[in-house]
Amino acid sequence: MAPWNPRAEEMPPDELRRLQFKLVKSLVYRLYSFNDFYRRRMKEQQVHPDDIRTLEDVAKLPFMYKRDLRDGYPDKIFSAGRDELVRYHVSSGTTGKPTVVGYTEHDIENWSESLARGFSSCGLGRGDVMQVSYGYGLFTGGLGAHYGAERVGATVLPTSVGNTERQVELMQDLHVTAIACTPSYLLHMGEVAEKMGVSIKNDTELRIGFLGAEPWSEQMRTRIEEWLGIRAYDIYGTSELSGPMFTECAEQQGIHIWGDLALVEIVDPATGEVLEPGEQGELTITMLQKEALPMVRYRIGDLTALEEDACACGRTHPRIGRIRGRVDDMLIVRGINVFPSQVEHALLEIPEVGRHFQIVVDRKGALDSMLVRVEVSEEAFSDKITELMVIKRKVEHRLRGSLNVSVDAELVEPGSLPRFEGKSKKVVDRRSL
């Protein structure tokens, strides 16, 4: 597929590296001069902007972590003034405190540009109708995909998540050709369509899916492509990078990370040492042009590797392989990030149940389900079933409120939940992707 921005996408590797160095240099000077948080970090690490003499010197810069955003809540580490911001997105944090991402006009511009390149590399363009079935709102998925698709001239159908029968009807009636959603939601949509007597493969014009926000596998890709008669592409991002940001191209050989927008490193999760292409490690990204919330060597927590060979599509930018897992205990349930610590935190505020818990994630049909087992406290135990049901519903309601995912609670006998065995037993993930 023809590049959206040939000059950028087909830039010779040497020139791309020179551009990256220039961008890193100016980013670091800017942060050192104007961003108190990052200047302090650099001083702690005893590194000065003048120490960055080659692109490899980026390895001297301090890392950033999710907790930096949490500690900086809501906008303490922003580099732009409030009057320069055009948007906020907010994601749930690991301990109940959310993280806020701000965007300048230029940030939105680059976000849209990045997705426009990705979408067009898979053949999306004028004449296409893209159904955006990611959530719209504080979550970045909906609006991110929306802007990217409009940028390439596609018509956007902003359905958001839910009301699946209506989504299937609109897909047919409005000649939808592309969809952006989680892979599990697309499978669910396929099942709902079949119950309605609609075959997505034969009765709709859908031909492309941009699927992400949760891990999936090659087997799942094959199943989706064969069953629904589409080409399914991986899309990657996190709110800290802006949102969904990078996609595969039509070759389906890894996700292109646009080097003029982002510098990707794979580091050893334990030592922070930069790893060679082909080696599995933690994805670490420096956003080279982000203004409102600069991200330098941000440790995303996803495990992957850099692809070594050049892509047959002719684009020269680095590519990462499939996400193989997490360095922490983060779960992704229906596209939403969930940390066991959030559950722990929420339960502390419910005196009717103990602080021990177990999370069981499963996939019923196509959709994830999350069960949280809790023990009824001695004080709250009533022999009336109705009162116990009130406790159960309270737990479900509170967890839903803090996780943004619907949760089933199960009351279990005291002492039956794992105590000190660590995170491995606190989370049981029965999904096979």
Provide the minimum distance between the beta carbon of 213 and another protein in the complex, in angstroms, as a whole number. 30
Q: Which of 14, 349, 378, 421 binds another protein (CB under 8 A)?
A: 378
**413 binding another protein? (CB under 8 A):** yes
**351 binding another protein? (CB under 8 A):** no
* Only segment of 144-152, 223-231, 289-297, 409-417 that touches another protein (CB under 8 A): 409-417
Q: Which of 226, 273, 416, 429 binds another protein (CB under 8 A)?
A: 416
Nearest alpha carbon to residue 2 among 249, 230, 248: 249
**374 binding another protein? (CB under 8 A):** no
Q: Which of 174, 366, 367, 412 binds another protein (CB under 8 A)?
A: 412
Q: Which is nearer to another protein, 14 or 378 (CB)?
A: 378
User: Which two three-digit tokens encode residue 103?
Assistant: 């965007």
Provide the minimum distance between the beta carbon of 332 and another protein in the complex, in angstroms, as a whole number. 25
**360 binding another protein? (CB under 8 A):** no
**390 binding another protein? (CB under 8 A):** no
**366 binding another protein? (CB under 8 A):** no
Q: Which is nearer to another protein, 138 or 417 (CB)?
A: 417
Q: Which of 56, 153, 414, 433 binds another protein (CB under 8 A)?
A: 414
Report the site for another protein in 162-201 (rule: CB under 8 A).
none
Q: Which is nearer to another protein, 314 or 414 (CB)?
A: 414
Provide the minimum distance between the beta carbon of 252 and another protein in the complex, in angstroms, as a whole number. 43
User: Which two three-digit tokens encode residue 427?
Assistant: 């989370």
* Only segment of 116-124, 129-137, 214-222, 380-388 that touches another protein (CB under 8 A): 380-388
Q: Which of 54, 389, 401, 425 binds another protein (CB under 8 A)?
A: 389
Provide the minimum distance between the beta carbon of 338 and another protein in the complex, in angstroms, as a whole number. 21
Based on C-alpha coordinates, what's the Rg of the chain? 23
User: Residue numbers of the site for another protein (CB under 8 A)?
Assistant: 375-376, 378, 381-385, 388-389, 392, 410-416
